[in-house]
A and B are shown apart, each in its own frame.
Chain A
Amino acid sequence: NVLTQSPATLSLPRGERATLSCRARETVASDWLAWYQKKSGQAPKLLVYGASNRAPGVPDRFTGSGSGTHFTLTITRLESDDSAEYYCQQYGYSYTFGRGTKLEV
């Protein structure tokens, strides 16, 4: 199940809101869609699972939404530390990652 993320890059000022999109070619089974944050030299960090469930310890500025084939990660009140690559992943049938969105704050 191919996942298409958009935009590829996003540059926004601090304090603004970022909206990241992830579209699946086929319906994601059980809405088993996760979002990860990846910084250079660090391990990926789980942000959201099951499309809209925030992982433990993740600030409420990060919100996942969507179902079926269209999913969104919204990051409000952007901080410099949010600069990273963000990946969506479906795990409903096998496993697939999107190509990522690079966010610059």
Chain B
Amino acid sequence: EVQLVESGGDLVQPGGSLRLSCAVSGFSLSTYDMNWVRQAPGKGLEWLSYISPSSSTIYYAESVNGRFTVSRDNAKNSLFLQMNSLTPEDTAVYFCAREKIAAGLDYWGRGTLVTVSS
């Protein structure tokens, strides 16, 4: 069974940093593109970042480019999102999602809550 489990969400002060993890099981992480998506309270889904299987290609949304860094450890079946210079606008539930080539984001985790507040 394919599973993705995010962790690392917490309450952090503005300007602070946080590192999210996504542990996957039921499939080989090394063969899939992966993404991070978030949903702020009362808002819609917002795509944040993409990383290819070998980490050779990485994309970011404009809203997080330069502040967030995506990475992966295929041997440990884990995906990461390093978030720096956090602002209250980054408060959201953060999801990791598996991408199937030409077929959208087919599996998602349940998300981890990040709250940025003083």
Number of interface residues of B (CB under 8 A): 23
Decide: A34 and B110 in contact? CB cutoff 8 A. Answer: no
Q: Mark A37-49, 1 if CB is under 8 A from B, else 0.
A: 0100011111001
User: Which residues in B have their C-beta under 8 angstroms from that of A89?
Assistant: 45, 47, 104-105
Partner of B103, one of A36, A53, A96: A53
Closest chain A CB from B30 CB (angstroms): 21
- 28 examples of A-B residue contacts, CB within 8 angstroms: A30-B102, A32-B104, A34-B104, A36-B45, A36-B105, A38-B45, A42-B110, A43-B109, A43-B110, A43-B111, A44-B45, A44-B97, A46-B104, A46-B105, A50-B103, A53-B103, A85-B44, A87-B44, A87-B45, A91-B99, A91-B104, A94-B59, A95-B50, A95-B59, A95-B61, A97-B44, A97-B45, A98-B44
